[in-house]
Structure 1
């Protein structure tokens, strides 16, 4: 069953390759959606896919790339919108 997750990652997550890390990991998990930087310094993802794959992605997002320092990962689950056909990094 396909699910949707809105994920906000807080901490030192901008300027350290976090979006590229999230992109690689999301593609590995075969989920669709996007990742982008927010003006408050956090990183936001919206993803759709199998719950087990999204849960694995969330686990990996807690680690992040080497130079990052993740303080908090906030997840909001909802019904899928079926708007995504791939995963991309937004500027």
Structure 2
């Protein structure tokens, strides 16, 4: 299963991408995370549905200095498998 997640709040300049990468890797998920010009963070993540739900809870919590106000989660059909988890710039 694949989720595209848009995270709104205080999520840039607070270590959110590195946090997301650490959490995704700890769950064995694949995908990427990047900052968007509008101040949100975009995450594309793929894995088992139950594990993805746990990942989403951790993303909602965020790193210590962040504040997550809103998550927009879109289920997608995987076209090609994602390998590893990276931070995109």
Q: State the match for 1:51 in structure 2.
A: 49
Q: State the match for 2:26 in structure 1.
A: 28
Unaligned runs of 5+ in 1: none
User: Any idea what the Cα deviations from partners look like across 1:29-59, whole Å, max 9, x if unmatched?
Assistant: 1110000000000000001110111111100
Q: State the match for 2:71 in structure 1.
A: 73
Deviation at 1:82, TM superposition (A): 2.8
Count of matched residue pairs: 89
SS for the counterpart of 1:59 is: helix
Deviation at 1:16, TM superposition (A): 0.1
Distance between the aligned counterparts of 2:36 and 2:6, measured in 1? 9
CA RMSD of aligned residues (A): 0.8
**Taking structure 1 as the reference length, what is the TM-score of the superposition?**
0.94
Which 4+ runs in 1 deviate beyond 4 A?
none
**Taking structure 2 as the reference length, what is the TM-score of the superposition?**
0.96
SS for the counterpart of 1:40 is: coil
User: Any idea what the Cα deviations from partners look like across 1:34-89, whole Å, max 9, x if unmatched?
Assistant: 00000000000001110111111100011100000100011001212233111000
